[in-house]
Amino acid sequence: MLRRFFVPVALLAATVGHAGECPWMANSRLDAAFPDRAPWTLMAGGRGRCKFVSDESKPASTISLTQMVEASPKEAEEYVKTVGAGMAETYAVKAIGGIGKAGVAVRERSAADSRMLTLIGHQKNVVVMTQMSFFGGVDAAQQAKALELTQATFTADTGGGLQMPSP
Average pLDDT, rounded, for the chain: 86
DSSP assignment of the chain: -THHHHHHHHHHH---S--B--SSS-HHHHHHH-GGGPSPEEEEEETTEEEEE--TTSS--EEEEEEEE-SSHHHHHHHHHHHHHHHTTTSEEEE-TTS-TT-EEEE-SS-TT-SEEEEEEEETTEEEEEEEE-TT---HHHHHHHHHHHHHHHHS--SS-B-PPP-
User: Rounded mean pLDDT of 80-88?
Assistant: 96
| DSSP track, 119-157 | EEEEETTEEEEEEEE-TT---HHHHHHHHHHHHHHHHS-
Give the model's pLDDT for residue 59: 86
- What does pTM read for this prediction? 0.84
Question: Do residues 59 and 99 make contact, with C-beta atoms less than 8 angstroms apart?
Answer: no
pLDDT at 114: 79
- CATH no. of 3-155: 3.40.1000
Range of weakest confidence among 57-71, 74-88, 107-121, 153-167: 153-167
